[in-house]
Amino acid sequence: MLIQVNVQNFKSFNESNSLNMIASNKLRTQKDRLYESVDVTLLKSAVIYGANASGKSNFVEVLRFMKECVINQEIPIESYNWYCRNHEDNKEKISSFSVQLLLNG
């Protein structure tokens, strides 16, 4: 189960951005929306809202890119050009991705 996804310097994501699926205390009473393990309580689903051009589609691209890298066991050659173009110096910086998963409960 997905706990957290982090991305930096990819498409429109300059600084580190994350999607965190850990449930807040406000939702702890709504058991039907939660997955509870011994260590952590997670949301079963989430919705991403935002204005036009705010990065929603690029976040889906982050997930697609990471999936393709894992399945193909290589980084696509064209990805060298997918850095965040909002700042000139990002071309020389690495892009970073991380995923935190809960496996086997």
**Which pLDDT score, from 0 to 100, does residue 50 have?**
93
Tens-place pLDDT, residues 3-54: 999 999 999 999 999 999 999 988 878 889 999 998 899 999 999 999 998 9
- In which band, very low, low, confident or very high, does the pLDDT at 80 lie, cut at 50, 70 and 90? confident
Whole-number mean pLDDT of the chain? Answer: 93
Q: Name the domain count of the chain.
A: 1
E runs forming strands in the chain: 2-8, 17-20, 34-36, 41-43, 96-101
**How much is the pTM?**
0.85
What is the percent of the chain where pLDDT is above 70? 100
Q: Range of 97's domain?
A: 2-101
Joined together, the tokens standing for residue 88 give: 């000139």
